[in-house]
Amino acid sequence: MATIITGQVLSFVRSPIDATPEDATKIHEALLIEDGIIAAIGPLADLRAQAPDAQIADHSGQLILAGFVDAHVHYPQTAIIASWGKRLIDWLNTYTFPEEMRFADPAYAAQIAARYLDLTTQAGTTTVCSYCTIHPESVDAFFAEAQTRGQRVIAGKTCMDRNAPEGLRDTAQTAHDQSAALIARWQGVDRLGYAITPRFSPTSTPEQLEALGALWSEHPDCLMQTHLSEQTDEIAWVKELYPDARDYLDTYEAHGLLGENGLFGHAIHLEPREIDRLHETGAAVVHCPTSNTFIGSGLFDMGGLVAKGIRVGLATDTGGGSSFSMLRTMASAYEVGQLNGTVLHPSQLLWLATAGSAQALKLGGRIGNLAPGMEADVIAIDLASTPAIAQRSARADDLWEAVFPTIMMGDDRAIAQVWIAGQPVFDAKTG
């Protein structure tokens, strides 16, 4: 059955980072969903005339926008989110690696995959790009769970052949072969996409990076995701492990792992050459603000990288990040921007969490915005979800002033309803 959703329907006509909010956005009265696709957007009367038998989902006064797109997550870290007090490398050894060992068990992987997608759906996130573990079972579990939900996700087997526990190491050959088998099984099936996934240079030998670079050249339609320049002690470690590399990014570039479909998480402490090469190759970077502050990594230079023309996505970085909520992530991005001299407007924050992240994932033509022909991943946000937010938004003189308190103080309680591929999958009224 067709569905008409009413409310303050927000669509982007261009990036509000490159234009004023007034020029970049439009507010509509309603949108029409048919067969999992946005069929039309505009006045309610027009849509009712177009689809007289459509079911009406009335969200008057609420904000209707594309589902959030989380461009960098680790679903296997769901159970260890908000673990106390470690820098990156200690955090990996103390919390992450022991937990990831458990994903050799397909039943445990399936349990956490379902839990993760439940939690993120309730927080309004409809697409994620996730690292799995070295175990192919962890990839199968995640894709299988997303497939049953009709959800668009990207994921990949994390590859590591050194500086990790024995139970979490593969080899250059098995990393290539297992990833190739997973690509054959999942890439392009339904709404699923594969990302070739070396964790980061310290946990891969040059031979493994070379093998994964070769794999990417064989499957250039896949994304390639990894980490880059997250912490200064990590960068020093990379220099020790790759003494001939010009910089951190060069450890990837030298092995065929830099290109337009490349996705580099964190990217905080970049050298000028790295910034230039990211721009020249068209690669994207992903801002992970709650993780960067929680683990003490540093301040992402949103203004500087955007000015260079680099595509930027936004991410929770679960579980190094401290929240499953993209609203909390937007609040953190705003605060980091304030500390780093870049003031982000509410429209820019919402764009980063939807269309911006979709573009970083090379999915901008399918998700991340509300427009005819786009896939109908849609959320309704209650702009008065708590008494504190309600009393502030009641004083607003325009939409952006009404939205901003929810960005800064909102969480999963603000998500009124979620549709994935046009199907209602969460309703705050019924749970």
Residues 6+ apart with CB under 8 A from 93: none
Mean pLDDT of 350-375: 98
Place 121 in a pLDDT band, splitting at 50, 70 and 90: very high
The segment(s) of the chain belonging to CATH 2.30.40.10 are 3-67+369-427
| Gap between the Cα atoms of 60 and 52, Å rounded | 19
Place 87 in a pLDDT band, splitting at 50, 70 and 90: confident
The pLDDT value given to residue 259: 98
| Gap between the Cα atoms of 297 and 133, Å rounded | 23
- The tens digit of pLDDT for each residue in 241-295 reads 999 999 999 999 999 999 999 999 999 999 999 999 999 999 999 999 999 999 8
Whether residue 112 has pLDDT greater than 80: yes
Cα–chain-centroid distance for residue 46?
A: 34
Parallel, antiparallel, or unpaired for β 311-314 and 284-287? parallel
Mean pLDDT of the chain: 97
Mean pLDDT of 355-375: 98
Place 3 in a pLDDT band, splitting at 50, 70 and 90: very high
pTM here? 0.97
| Gap between the Cα atoms of 194 and 197, Å rounded | 9
Cα–chain-centroid distance for residue 293?
A: 17
The segment(s) of the chain belonging to CATH 3.20.20.140 are 68-360
- Residue/partner pairs of 85-94 with CB below 8 Å, 24 or more apart: 86/295, 87/231, 87/233, 87/295, 87/296, 88/230, 88/231, 88/233, 88/234, 88/295, 88/297, 88/320, 89/233, 89/234, 89/237, 91/295, 91/320
- The tens digit of pLDDT for each residue in 326-356 reads 999 999 999 999 999 999 999 999 999 999 9
User: What is the homologous superfamily of the domain 3-67+369-427 according to CATH?
Assistant: Urease, subunit C, domain 1 (2.30.40.10)
The dihedral built from the CA positions of residue 190, 195, 199 and 205, taken in this order, carries a sign that is positive
Whether residue 91 has pLDDT greater than 90: no
The pLDDT value given to residue 148: 98
Place 234 in a pLDDT band, splitting at 50, 70 and 90: very high
- The tens digit of pLDDT for each residue in 173-219 reads 999 999 999 999 999 999 999 999 999 999 999 999 999 999 999 99
The pLDDT value given to residue 346: 98
Judge residue 431's burial from the number of C-beta atoms within 10 Å of its C-beta, 0-12 exposed, 13-18 middle, 19 or more buried. Answer: exposed
Mean pLDDT of 18-42: 97
Closest CA to 184 of 128, 211, 222: 222
Mean pLDDT of 57-75: 98
The pLDDT value given to residue 92: 86
Place 431 in a pLDDT band, splitting at 50, 70 and 90: confident
Q: Is 317 left (phi over 0), alpha (psi -120 to 50) or beta?
A: left
Q: Are 165 and 101 in contact (CB under 8 A)?
A: yes
What is the percent of the chain with per-residue pLDDT over 90, rounded to a whole number? 95
The pLDDT value given to residue 356: 98
CATH 3.20.20.140 is right for the domain spanning 68-360: yes
- The tens digit of pLDDT for each residue in 374-415 reads 999 999 999 999 999 999 999 999 999 999 999 999 999 999
The pair of three-digit structure tokens given for residue 36, joined into one six-digit string: 């999992």
